């Protein structure tokens, strides 16, 4: 463990402790002061994520959006930043059209970068359901079923929480079945996005 990693872990623990003591306390100024210190890029990115979370907690959505846009501009090829901006418009400053636009950008970047494709497609599926965009939902399910993840690329395991919320008849049952079968297979081989297949399929 490097000194800077230890310093970051201590900083994050301190933030958690402050939040637990007083949930109403706005720690954004405190985090901004921390960010004025010298941090390696990865650690400063983590702290900016904490700042976005803090701004969201206190309904300071315009400031959160501005910071998220800055992240995209700073590292335009990184899919996670566009993904985070899509979730901002999904859950906080709700605008489904903007959320769909930004998640499409995240997916385009993930196709090149290789990271966060499962996560981005899951977000797109949820947005499509809420927007009643059934064509987008069906194409997203198709992409989820067909996607071949490369072990080691940062991502979530393919998510299924949104499947029960799909109204009957709005997409092809075969499309839903194909995705369910893919997830079942990945579970059967104990697939890990870090390590890949961890158990032979009987």
Tell me, yes or no, whether 7 lies in a domain: no
* Residue span of the structural domain in which 115 resides: 48-188
Contact 61, 35 (CB under 8 A): no
pLDDT above 80: residue 159: yes
Own/partner contacts of 9-18, CB < 8 Å, gap of 24 or more, are: 11/47, 12/46, 12/50, 15/50
pLDDT, one tens digit per residue, over 37-77 is: 999 988 999 999 999 999 999 999 999 999 999 999 999 99
pLDDT at res. 201: 64
Eight-state DSSP code of residue 164: G
Tell me, yes or no, whether 110 lies in a domain: yes
Tell me, yes or no, whether 92 lies in a domain: yes
Tell me, yes or no, whether 170 lies in a domain: yes
- The CATH number of whichever domain residue 143 belongs to comes to 1.25.40.10
- Residue closest to 142 by CA, chosen among 157, 160, 121: 121
Average pLDDT, the chain: 94
Tell me, yes or no, whether 1 lies in a domain: no
Tell me, yes or no, whether 87 lies in a domain: yes
SS3 state of residue 200:
coil
Tell me, yes or no, whether 28 lies in a domain: no
- What domain count does the chain have? 1
pLDDT at res. 5: 53
Tell me, yes or no, whether 6 lies in a domain: no
SS3 state of residue 75:
coil
Backbone angles phi, psi at 196, to 5 degrees: 85, -150
pLDDT, one tens digit per residue, over 91-136 is: 999 999 999 999 999 999 999 999 999 999 999 999 999 999 999 9
The helix-helix angle for 117-130 and 96-113 (nearest 10°) equals 160
């Amino acid at each position: 463990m490097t000194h800077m990693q230890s310093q970051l872990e201590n900083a994050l623990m301190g933030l958690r402790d402050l939040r637990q003591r007083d949930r109403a306390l706005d720690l954004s100024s405190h985090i901004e002061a921390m960010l004025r210190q010298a941090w390696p890029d990865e650690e400063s990115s983590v702290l900016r994520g904490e700042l976005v979370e803090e701004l969201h907690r206190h309904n300071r959505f315009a400031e959160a959006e501005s910071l998220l846009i800055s992240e995209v501009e700073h590292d335009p090829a990184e899919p996670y930043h566009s993904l985070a901006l899509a979730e901002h418009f999904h859950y906080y400053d709700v605008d489904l059209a903007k959320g769909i636009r930004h998640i499409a950008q995240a997916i385009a970047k993930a196709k090149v970068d290789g990271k966060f494709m499962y996560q981005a497609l899951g977000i797109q599926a949820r947005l499509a359901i809420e927007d009643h965009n059934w064509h987008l939902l069906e194409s997203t399910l198709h992409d989820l079923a067909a996607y071949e993840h490369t072990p080691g690329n940062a991502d979530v395991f393919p998510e299924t929480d949104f499947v029960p919320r799909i109204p009957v008849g709005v997409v092809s049952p075969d499309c839903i079945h194909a995705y369910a079968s893919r997830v079942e297979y990945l579970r059967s081989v104990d697939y890990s996005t870090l390590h890949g297949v961890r158990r032979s399929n009987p």
